[in-house]
Amino acid sequence: MTVSPLSPPNALAAAVAGRLAGIRRRIDEAARLAGRPPGDVRLVAISKTFDAAHVRAAAAAGQIDFGENRVQEALQKIEQTSDLQIRWHLVGHLQSNKARRAATAFALIHSLDSLDLLQQLDRAAEAAGTAPELLVQVDLAGEATKHGAAPGTVRPLFEAAARCRAARVVGLMLLPPLGQRPEESRPWFRQLRELRDTLAAEGTPPGMLRELSMGMSGDFEIAVQEGATIVRVGTAIFGTREHV
Ligand SMILES: *Cc1c(COP(=O)(O)O)cnc(C)c1O
Q: What's the total number of domains in the chain?
A: 1
110 Cα: distance to centroid of ligand 1 (angstroms)? 12
DSSP code, position 12: H
Cβ(75)–Cβ(90) under 8 Å?
no
Q: Is residue 91 within 6 Å of ligand 1 at its C-beta?
A: yes
Q: What is the CATH number of the domain that holds 72?
A: 3.20.20.10
208 lies in some domain = yes
Q: Which atom of ligand 1 is found nearest the CA of 216? A: 9
* Ligand 1 neighbourhood includes 234 CB (under 6 angstroms): yes
**Owning domain of residue 227:** 10-238
CA-closest residue to ligand 1 atom 12: 91
Cα of 176 vs centre of ligand 1, distance in Å, is: 11
Among 158, 180, 5, 147, residue whose Cα is nearest residue 69: 147
Residue 71 lies in a domain: yes
The model scores a pTM over 0.85: yes
Task: Give the pLDDT confidence score for residue 244 in this predicted structure.
Answer: 59
**Could you list the pLDDT tens digit for every one of the 244 residues in the chain?**
555 555 566 899 999 999 999 999 999 999 999 999 978 999 999 999 999 999 999 999 999 999 999 999 999 999 999 999 999 999 999 999 999 999 999 999 999 999 999 999 999 999 999 999 999 999 999 987 778 999 999 999 999 999 999 999 999 999 999 989 999 999 999 999 999 999 999 999 999 999 999 999 999 999 999 999 999 999 999 999 986 5
